[in-house]
A and B are shown apart, each in its own frame.
Chain A
């Protein structure tokens, strides 16, 4: 099957800065694909190149098998949902949504009908005559989505679309976006710096770091088998154990990742089951999260390890400076390629 999007050796240089450094990836039709990374990692540059707002310094971009590297945005079958929504302030909601058909020469009654149809999909048909200024953040978000979907693009690009919404609305929109994506069957390319968002929505995630793809995998693979320390920390908020501490625990200097929720906090000096790894340290602080709390323990070798402890676990000393023991099973460690 022809990939919906293919990037072949794409680089984008700004002077000496490599915003994107030899990135190759291929996105299947109908896939929900996330570009995840901290700010400045190149994920937004990558999106802008696919949209056509910018051109790569090297490499090729194929859209549905066609080389679109030099084709301007208005001739690409790609539409974008912008981070700031970019709704036209001088047009009503319906006019905003009907903009794509309008510039393509679709007559007034027909495009009005199309606009209402798409607004129905995002459940905003009754606000069609409002002006964007009268909408809430979540409603603007839906209008932006409807406006981008009306052209029936091959690929929909979403640039941190939920970044400006509050937590509850964000979670609501996440499931709604996913539902809409399944309904329309369009390839979604979703840029975000929020690993939770990427993991919960995407079929596959490309983790960006310094202009390169650090790891490209399914959310489960990324979370359970991070290949590098960066991915382990960024995606799973996992502990990365390396150097002296790794040697003390496993007997080898090879770095490994261990997720906070697999670490058990027990009384210092208590015995651990066979096949377990453990180390001891001093409790630095506890962050309360409701159902769980996150314990930060300074190990005797120096580095701090985090452990997630469910509320209601057997009570132990919680005073700062108490000695505790951290233990986990040998199977739960993930060896890392770097660090």
Chain B
């Protein structure tokens, strides 16, 4: 039987066996993913002919110079970075109690319910959700109606009157955009965080209390450090997804540009591929910086 012969052949030869397993994914990752990443990187070092709008395959740092000397571009980067940071921190704060409940307190049934509940929104089209949020956040939308019922409309008006984050309505303010971002990426924070908290044995928490630590001290000294890898994984998701997104900022929120929108526009209508490529490199660099900071803070020590 040929399958038996193949199995016998492979059994004693780990090298062949591993090669057989790894070649397809490595081909995919290596050529399709890393290859296109390299192509992108190359593009960012090419020049563009001002008159013909043709790409000149000649290595130059001109595109990057433009990226950093134009205050508008720097604004876009800072705006995106600020939004990504705020979304990540908020998502972490909201996700922690949910993840903690799922990991430690929920009965198996309740846990399954929560898992489905957290993931269910991801089964719906992303565009549908974004447009739905635009209606929810609109001036006469569901949210303002609801806040009106609660008598909280003045609070909403005050929030919208705040410079920078405010605007004429939630649907056309950074505050509204922030709400949509947090909603969209929250599952990506909850799931890794739950996985990390599930791996913390109950006896560690009991040992901490046993040795005299109050709940707050146990949280700071034991739970948080051991949940850091999950928090880091989740925040890489929320951070990078916000950095790269171009649909939410173009559907909801104030008119200011975000990195993703710039990439979309530069490679499309503006036809400036090198600048689009340079903009796409920015999130990669930011994530790399973020990860090295997280590593230095010891986020992966407990792995």
Report which A residues bind B (CB closer than 8 A). 51-53, 72-74, 78-80, 82-84, 86-90, 99-100, 102-104, 147-148, 151
One of A53, A89, A104 near B212 (C-beta < 8 A): A104
Q: Check A51/B226 contact, CB under 8 A, given A84-B201, A88-B204, A90-B301.
A: no
Residue in A78, A79, A103 whose Cβ sees the most chain B Cβ within 10 Å = A103
In the bound assembly, the distance between CA atoms of A93 and B214 in angstroms comes to 22
B267 within 8 A of A: no
Chain B neighbourhood of A148, CB < 8 A: 210-211
The number of inter-chain residue pairs (CB within 8 angstroms) is 68
Chain B neighbourhood of A72, CB < 8 A: 209
CB distance from A208 to the nearest CB of B (A): 21
Q: Check A90/B225 contact, CB under 8 A, given A103-B213, A103-B217.
A: yes
Chain B neighbourhood of A79, CB < 8 A: 210-211
In the bound assembly, the distance between CA atoms of A90 and B211 in angstroms comes to 17
In the bound assembly, the distance between CA atoms of A92 and B102 in angstroms comes to 29
Residue in B203, B209, B211, B217 whose Cβ sees the most chain A Cβ within 10 Å = B211
Q: Are A86 and B207 in contact (CB under 8 A)?
A: yes
Q: Are A73 and B206 in contact (CB under 8 A)?
A: yes
Q: Are B210 and A73 in contact (CB under 8 A)?
A: yes
In the bound assembly, the distance between CA atoms of A147 and B203 in angstroms comes to 14
Q: Check A74/B207 contact, CB under 8 A, given A89-B302, A90-B301.
A: no
B222 within 8 A of A: yes
CB-nearest residue of chain A relative to B206?
A53
Q: Are A99 and B206 in contact (CB under 8 A)?
A: no
CB distance from B273 to the nearest CB of A (A): 46
In the bound assembly, the distance between CA atoms of A79 and B212 in angstroms comes to 9
CB-nearest residue of chain A relative to B222?
A88
One of A78, A80, A90, A104 near B207 (C-beta < 8 A): A80
Residue in B206, B210, B302 whose Cβ sees the most chain A Cβ within 10 Å = B210
Chain A neighbourhood of B209, CB < 8 A: 52-53, 72-74
In the bound assembly, the distance between CA atoms of A51 and B212 in angstroms comes to 11
Residue in B207, B208, B209 whose Cβ sees the most chain A Cβ within 10 Å = B207
B221 within 8 A of A: yes
In the bound assembly, the distance between CA atoms of A148 and B211 in angstroms comes to 7
One of B203, B298, B302 near A82 (C-beta < 8 A): B203
CB distance from B49 to the nearest CB of A (A): 56
One of B203, B210, B213, B217 near A84 (C-beta < 8 A): B203
Chain A neighbourhood of B201, CB < 8 A: 84, 86
Q: Are A74 and B214 in contact (CB under 8 A)?
A: yes
In the bound assembly, the distance between CA atoms of A89 and B226 in angstroms comes to 8
CB-nearest residue of chain B relative to A98?
B211
Could you show 8 A-B contacts with beta carbons less than 8 Å apart? A53-B209, A74-B213, A80-B206, A90-B298, A99-B213, A102-B221, A103-B217, A148-B210
Q: Are A151 and B212 in contact (CB under 8 A)?
A: yes
In the bound assembly, the distance between CA atoms of A79 and B225 in angstroms comes to 23
Q: Are A103 and B212 in contact (CB under 8 A)?
A: yes
CB distance from B233 to the nearest CB of A (A): 16
Chain A neighbourhood of B217, CB < 8 A: 103
Chain A neighbourhood of B210, CB < 8 A: 51-53, 73-74, 78-80, 148
CB distance from B296 to the nearest CB of A (A): 15
Given contacts A84-B201, A86-B201, 15 further A-B contacts (CB under 8 A): A53-B206, A73-B209, A74-B211, A74-B214, A78-B210, A79-B211, A82-B203, A88-B204, A88-B221, A89-B302, A90-B298, A100-B211, A103-B211, A103-B212, A151-B212
Q: Check A82/B212 contact, CB under 8 A, given A88-B222, A103-B217.
A: no
CB distance from A241 to the nearest CB of B (A): 43
Question: Which residues 217-236 in B have Cβ within 8 Å of A in the complex?
Answer: 217, 221-222, 225-226
Q: What are the nearest 6 A-B pairs in CB distance?
A: A86-B203, A86-B207, A103-B213, A100-B211, A73-B209, A90-B302
Q: Are B206 and A86 in contact (CB under 8 A)?
A: yes
In the bound assembly, the distance between CA atoms of A147 and B206 in angstroms comes to 13
Chain B neighbourhood of A52, CB < 8 A: 209-210
CB distance from B285 to the nearest CB of A (A): 29
Chain A neighbourhood of B225, CB < 8 A: 90
CB distance from A111 to the nearest CB of B (A): 12
In the bound assembly, the distance between CA atoms of A227 and B30 in angstroms comes to 75
Chain B neighbourhood of A99, CB < 8 A: 208, 211, 213, 221
CB-nearest residue of chain A relative to B220?
A103
In the bound assembly, the distance between CA atoms of A88 and B212 in angstroms comes to 15
